[in-house]
Structure 1
Amino acid sequence: MYADFARREARGVSPTYERLSFAISADEEILTLLRTVPKPKRQPNLLLGVVRLLGGPVDDPAAFHDFTVSNWPAVAAELRTRATQTNEAGRCALLLPVLAMLPQPLALLEVGAAAGLGLYPDRYFYRYDDREIGSSGPILECTLTGTTPPTRLPEVTWRAGLDLHPLDVTDPADVAWLEALIWPEHHHRRDRLRAAAAIAAADPPTLHHGDLVDDLPRLAAQAPADATLVVFHTSVLYQVPTERRTLFVDLVRELPGHWIAVEAPDVLSYEGLPPAPDKALHNVLALDGTPLAWTRGHGQAMAWLA
């Protein structure tokens, strides 16, 4: 798991996490400790984020080892109670081309919303190579190939989020967790998070504590009838057990409006999907079950399918 994370996710993106993850993959003491927590709690982003939240070092594998082993009870407690909630506002750059083509206005419902930063695509500033859209807010840059950039922002009249553990952008402790999940070298993402959090704090989103199967229909029914309902999620379903994931897909297909998914192809599979642009980890952007583009994890690039 950790060697694969180093090769496919961290390589070329975070030298610190690439080096550290390769070291963890060969560290039998840490791997043995990880086996004492449930399998979904062993993932690299979660462990690395927890250690950073607790003040541990990540720039030196030996120091990381010593801190993690000596503080394992605290690390394990955080692993068991937390989930990876990256809440990357940059992923709105992946959603915008689809949102802009749908009938306006929109009622947005994000599954796995965390702090709800993905619910403000109409309040960010986008740069697709030399094309800019918007007038204020944090700058979301995305290299776009295979299609032309959108020309307008969506009109959003209703926004709500669903999460098992919603975060509050006005709570410093919750913001600290979001910051701990940002990779060490990514200062631009940290600045972007703070700017997006300020937008959300000025007009807090409606976030509901609930399950993506049991509670989604009730929340979707609250969307205004004169808006196009859009249920969306980005890098969420890998944390959902396969059986629940299947139930969710069946359920969301029956809802009115549209469904946008940005997930890895081994999480949501599609027939006839062409090869990814390279060996790095890519997600698939899909609308109503139809794949549209390969995307990078933090919204930094998108290659539209032919």
Structure 2
Amino acid sequence: MSRGHFYADGDIAEIYRWFAAEAAATSPTWQAVSEWVARTASIADRLAGLPGMKRQPQLFLAALRRLDAPLTPGPALEGWIAHHWDAVQRTILTHSTQTNEVGRCAVHLPLLAGLAAESGPIALVEVGSSAGLCLLPDAYAYRYRFDDRPELTLGAGTPVIPCRISGATPEQVTYASPAIAWRCGIDTAPLDPTDPEVAAWLRALIWPGQAEREDRLAAALATATALGAATGRPPVPVVTGDALEALPDVVAEARRHADTVVVMHTATLSYVSRDRRARFGALVGGLGARWISCEGERVVPEVRDRLASGTYDGPPCFVLALDGRPLARVGQHGGWIDWL
């Protein structure tokens, strides 16, 4: 059995049909373009020639957006791609899928706050931190809407991130701003949130039709820039490197600042091989850190094997887990939490 990755090993038409289904609920534009790619041999053949993980739809589609391609499927788009293929390919090869969706902070926050309430201020490490925006959960404001209690607003920063809550809240969860003593990211290619080109690429990664996400990104970038200007240094330190290699040293440094170290990642392990996913869980456990994962339900082996049996038929989601134990299904870009 292959131990690689669907994006690297799969048939392009199959990959894009799958992605079209993923995008259907929230981006009709990407659904239509992906379905068109799946049935257009001239485009599929070009994409098949890309190396490894560069074949992922998110990169190609973001490149189209960044380069102002016409996004209506058909001859005009096919001709545009043929004429601009060198620029499209160069953008794909020199960039990564590093979506920094701060809406996800709303689903991280209750677990982070619960851990801080239990043990005091935490040291927060994010794997796949991109521009580091999700390492600043205490800098934003939140609006939680519940099925069984009044709405709760937390924080006074920007953006204001909405989140709908359903299901019974677990005991280890606290709806509050977490006390964070120290924070650090790990990324193979960190992004500078103050760089206009970085901002443009992060915007291109947002799916068409999601204006609320674009506004949230702009507000978070402004917050990060202001924090950096106030301190005269980057708002969040980020270590450049491979997570499996860099994590032990980063966790060791984190322990100098707090008794509880939390390692967090969202939509990160889905971009690495199955072998590396399995090694990651064992590594975090061996370091004695608390582990918050937020990935597709089959991505993290420890979480997948502990999910209740049965077929999930709701909207596309991630599974939020603490130390490998699934606690909730959540919106892929934040927005909702359904506690299990």
Is residue 2:247 matched to residue 1:216? yes
Q: What is the 5 A alignment of 1:28-43? A: 28-43=41-56
Is contact 1:134–1:153 with CA below 8 Å preserved after alignment? Answer: yes
Query: What is the Cα deviation at residue 291 of structure 1?
Result: 0.7
Quick one: structure 1 residues 62 and 294, their matched pair in 2 at CA, closer, same or farther if it must change by over 3 Å? farther
Q: What is the 5 A alignment of 1:1-306? A: 1-7=15-21, 9-102=22-115, 103-129=119-145, 130-148=151-169, 150-203=174-227, 204-223=235-254, 224-269=256-301, 270-274=304-308, 275=310, 277-305=312-340
SS in 2 for 1:293: strand
Is contact 1:46–1:79 with CA below 8 Å preserved after alignment? Answer: yes
**Cα distance per residue 1:73-100 (max 9 Å; x no partner):** 2212222222111110000111111111
| Equivalent AA in structure 1 for residue 88 of structure 2 | V
Cα distance in 2, alignment partners of residues 67 and 5 from structure 1: 22
| Equivalent AA in structure 2 for residue 260 of structure 1 | I
Query: What is the Cα deviation at residue 10 of structure 1?
Result: 1.3
Cα distance in 2, alignment partners of residues 14 and 216 from structure 1: 35
> 39-48 vs 275-284, which deviates more?
275-284
Query: What is the Cα deviation at residue 184 of structure 1?
Result: 1.4
**Cα distance per residue 1:22-70 (max 9 Å; x no partner):** 1111111111001111241122211110111122122444433222222
Cα distance in 2, alignment partners of residues 234 and 190 from structure 1: 19
Quick one: structure 1 residues 228 and 32, their matched pair in 2 at CA, closer, same or farther if it must change by over 3 Å? same
SS in 2 for 1:86: coil
RMSD: 1.7
Larger radius of gyration: 2
Is contact 2:112–2:178 with CA below 8 Å preserved after alignment? Answer: yes
Moved over 4 A (4+): none
Is contact 1:48–1:58 with CA below 8 Å preserved after alignment? Answer: no
Q: Which has the higher helix share?
A: 2
Is contact 1:157–1:227 with CA below 8 Å preserved after alignment? Answer: no
Query: What is the Cα deviation at residue 154 of structure 1?
Result: 0.2
TM-score (norm 2): 0.85
| Equivalent AA in structure 2 for residue 213 of structure 1 | L
Quick one: structure 1 residues 4 and 291, their matched pair in 2 at CA, closer, same or farther if it must change by over 3 Å? same
Cα distance in 1, alignment partners of residues 168 and 74 from structure 2: 42
Cα distance in 2, alignment partners of residues 279 and 304 from structure 1: 14
Question: Number of matched residues?
Answer: 304
**Cα distance per residue 1:249-296 (max 9 Å; x no partner):** 211111133110001122113224134653532211110111111112
| Equivalent AA in structure 1 for residue 336 of structure 2 | A
Q: Which runs of 5 or more residues in structure 2 are unaligned?
A: 1-14, 146-150, 228-234
Is contact 2:264–2:291 with CA below 8 Å preserved after alignment? Answer: yes
| Equivalent AA in structure 2 for residue 147 of structure 1 | A
Is contact 2:182–2:257 with CA below 8 Å preserved after alignment? Answer: no
Cα distance in 1, alignment partners of residues 292 and 144 from structure 2: 20
Cα distance in 2, alignment partners of residues 104 and 23 from structure 1: 52
Is contact 1:276–1:294 with CA below 8 Å preserved after alignment? Answer: no
Is contact 1:20–1:60 with CA below 8 Å preserved after alignment? Answer: yes
Cα distance in 1, alignment partners of residues 284 and 246 from structure 2: 12
> 84-93 vs 50-59, which deviates more?
50-59
Is contact 2:182–2:258 with CA below 8 Å preserved after alignment? Answer: no
Quick one: structure 1 residues 180 and 276, their matched pair in 2 at CA, closer, same or farther if it must change by over 3 Å? farther
Q: Which runs of 5 or more residues in structure 1 are unaligned?
A: none
SS in 1 for 2:64: helix
Cα distance in 2, alignment partners of residues 44 and 280 from structure 1: 20
Cα distance in 1, alignment partners of residues 334 and 268 from structure 2: 14
Quick one: structure 1 residues 34 and 281, their matched pair in 2 at CA, closer, same or farther if it must change by over 3 Å? same
